[in-house]
């Protein structure tokens, strides 16, 4: 086991493809993409449990599971997530559930001296009016966006958890903060989804029903960066094999579009030709969230899936799985 406190410098190397990897949240948007990536890269011992099989909020159950399986690597992708409506309506659950999930998994992994752990957060950790593009060192320099501050605080606590393990125990754990993600296994629920899957479902249903008008929240002017989840999974493995440091790493494309522009892209992809209206009584959220990805680029990784291509493949997935997507 590498001991940074003892003065031994950790140098990231290719992960052992035969070692056991636990992906927490393996059926979610991010977790399922990571499992697909690991399988494609030849990993032979990937473990995961559904929430029905293992409640990550149950500390005793998590400790027992980690002690039994003894994973060499852990990817902590499990989280309670949602869009503006869900975050602003249920802040208690978003704070409490995520804190417990993170603390339980990290403490259990620490008890087993898990060699490598990757904690996944969100770009919402940064101040609402952070200078754009957002650098990693702007963390905790300003007020958070009010509609998702509870979730953001939980994720910030997760980053500190990783940093604390590094300082106290010398384990080379790391954190990654992705931008807005989308792709297969996303949440397309009208009440719980993020903006892009919500738009895909809204426009696709409008086309199917012959509706002449679609109404979206806000003004359409906020700018957002979107990253396909398969790109995110590729970045995760790259970081595990090439990056070691206490600071979280931004993961994104380095470019953004307005909500109006992404709505137009979705409408074109699904074949919707009606009108789009904007309900300006609803909140816009943060005016812009564009990540500075220079740290990730310096580590040798950049995104490969273009937005139009990614939206098209996600629409295809949504239509093929219409009966099983979350409602």
CATH number, domain with residue 144? 3.40.50.720
- Cβ–Cβ under 8 Å, residues 190 and 253: no
Was 242 annotated as part of a binding site?
A: no
Q: Along the 327 residues of the chain, how does pLDDT read in single tens digits?
A: 445 444 456 899 999 999 999 999 999 999 999 999 999 999 999 999 999 999 999 999 999 999 999 999 999 999 998 777 788 899 999 999 999 999 999 999 999 999 999 999 999 999 989 999 999 999 999 999 898 999 999 999 999 999 999 999 999 999 999 999 999 999 898 776 788 999 999 999 999 999 999 999 999 999 999 999 999 999 999 999 999 999 999 999 999 999 999 999 999 999 999 999 999 999 887 788 899 999 999 999 999 999 999 999 999 999 999 887 765
Count the domains in the chain.
1
Was 23 annotated as part of a binding site?
A: no
Q: Give the three-state DSSP class for 17.
A: coil
Residues 186 and 194: their CA atoms lie apart, in Å, by 9
Q: Is 110 left (phi over 0), alpha (psi -120 to 50) or beta?
A: alpha
Q: What is the pLDDT of residues 13-41, one digit of tens each?
A: 999 999 999 999 999 999 999 999 999 99
Q: 121 in a domain, yes or no?
A: yes
CA angle 178, 182, 183 (to 5 degrees): 130
pLDDT value for 105: 98
Residues 270 and 133: their CA atoms lie apart, in Å, by 31
Was 196 annotated as part of a binding site?
A: no
pTM of the entire predicted model: 0.92
Please, what's the largest Cα pairwise distance for the chain? 67
What own/partner pairs with CB < 8 Å and gap ≥ 24 does 56-60 have?
A: 56/24, 56/100, 56/101, 56/104, 56/105, 57/97, 57/100, 57/101, 57/104, 58/104, 59/100, 59/103, 59/104, 59/107
Q: Any idea which residues carry the catalytic annotation?
A: 151
Residues 255 and 72: their CA atoms lie apart, in Å, by 35
Q: 195 in a domain, yes or no?
A: no
Was 5 annotated as part of a binding site?
A: no
Q: 200 in a domain, yes or no?
A: no
Residues 102 and 296: their CA atoms lie apart, in Å, by 24
Q: 207 in a domain, yes or no?
A: no
CA angle 90, 185, 304 (to 5 degrees): 115
Residues 196 and 199: their CA atoms lie apart, in Å, by 5
Q: 316 in a domain, yes or no?
A: no
Q: 274 in a domain, yes or no?
A: no
Segments forming the whole domain that contains residue 293: 20-185+226-254+289-305
Q: 42 in a domain, yes or no?
A: yes
pLDDT value for 204: 96
Was 291 annotated as part of a binding site?
A: no
Residues 265 and 278: their CA atoms lie apart, in Å, by 16
User: How many Å separate Cα 204 from the centre of its chain?
Assistant: 24
CA angle 38, 40, 41 (to 5 degrees): 65
Q: 231 in a domain, yes or no?
A: yes
For 187, list phi and psi in degrees, rounded to 5.
-95, 115
């Amino acid at each position: 086991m590498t001991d940074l406190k003892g003065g031994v410098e950790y140098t990231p190397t290719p992960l052992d493809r035969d070692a056991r990897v636990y992906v927490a949240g393996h059926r979610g948007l991010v977790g399922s993409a990571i499992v697909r990536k690991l399988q494609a890269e030849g990993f032979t011992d990937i473990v995961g449990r559904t929430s029905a099989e293992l409640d990550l909020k149950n500390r005793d159950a998590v400790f027992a599971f980690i002690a039994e399986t003894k994973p060499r690597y852990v990817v902590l992708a499990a989280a309670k997530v949602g869009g503006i409506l869900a975050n602003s309506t249920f802040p208690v659950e978003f704070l409490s559930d995520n804190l417990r999930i993170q603390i339980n998994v990290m403490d259990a992994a620490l008890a087993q001296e898990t060699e490598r752990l990757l904690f996944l957060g969100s770009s919402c950790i940064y101040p609402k009016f952070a200078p754009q593009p957002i650098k990693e060192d702007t963390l905790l320099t300003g007020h958070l966006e009010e509609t998702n501050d509870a979730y953001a605080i939980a994720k910030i606590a997760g980053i500190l958890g990783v940093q604390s393990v590094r300082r106290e125990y010398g384990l080379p754990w790391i954190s990654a903060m992705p931008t807005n993600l989308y792709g297969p296994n996303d949440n397309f629920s009208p009440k719980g989804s993020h903006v892009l899957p919500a738009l895909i479902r809204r426009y696709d249903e409008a086309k199917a029903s012959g509706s002449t008008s679609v109404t979206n929240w806000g003004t359409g002017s906020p700018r957002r960066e979107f990253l396909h989840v398969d790109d995110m999974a590729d970045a995760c493995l790259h970081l595990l094999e090439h990056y070691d440091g206490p600071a979280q790493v931004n993961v994104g494309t380095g470019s953004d579009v307005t909500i109006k522009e992404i709505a137009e892209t979705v409408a074109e992809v699904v074949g919707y030709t009606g009108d789009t209206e904007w309900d300006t009584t609803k909140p816009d959220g943060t005016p812009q969230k564009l990540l500075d990805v220079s740290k990730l680029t310096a580590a040798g990784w950049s995104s490969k899936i273009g937005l139009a291509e990614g939206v098209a493949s996600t629409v295809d997935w949504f239509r093929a799985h219409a009966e099983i997507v979350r409602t």
